Amino acid sequence: MFNTLGYAKKLEASGFSRESAEAQVEVILEMIVDGVATKSDLEAHKQAMGQDFGLLKQDFVLLKQDFDLLRHDFASLRHEFEMLKKDFAALRREFEMLRQEFEMFKAEIRQELKNMENRIVIKVGGMMVALIGVLAVLKLI
């Protein structure tokens, strides 16, 4: 607390007139009072801060809810990703089985074509022998 009377007496003792000392004390007192918060100022500030903290608390509650939703969504996405990985692995296995079946089928077809070719060669050869035989008989007659 500022001692205005003591300050004024010190000013008078150092040579200031009473009017000058009082004027200087009033100016200093106004500067001090203007810069000092009153109890009502402090109470108003306290209420405003309380409201701000209340709003901040509500924001944190909403952020936590949003974070919990994001966590849940992330867990769902992780589960879906794992399911997709399993599905992809199953498709890869199925594709490999189909590829192997196709290769086996292709090999069977090739073998069957070779077998048919051999049978045709044998039949054509037999027919040629028979034709030669017929031609030989026709020339003999």
Q: What angle do CA 32, 36, 41 make, to 5 degrees?
A: 155
Distance CA 101, CA 67 (A): 50
pLDDT digits (tens, 9 = 90+) for 106-141: 999 999 999 999 999 999 999 999 999 998 888 876
Collect all residues with Cβ–Cβ distance below 8 Å to 55 and sequence separation of at least 6: none
pLDDT tens, 86-101?
999 999 999 999 999 9
pLDDT of residue 9: 85
User: Does pLDDT of 56 surpass 90?
Assistant: yes
> CB-hemisphere CA count at 13 Å for 82?
6
What pLDDT sits at residue 81?
98
pLDDT digits (tens, 9 = 90+) for 9-52: 888 898 988 888 888 888 887 777 777 777 888 888 889 999 99
Tokens of 61: 């509650």
Q: What is the DSSP string of 113-135?
A: HHHHHHHHHHHHHHHHHHHHHHH
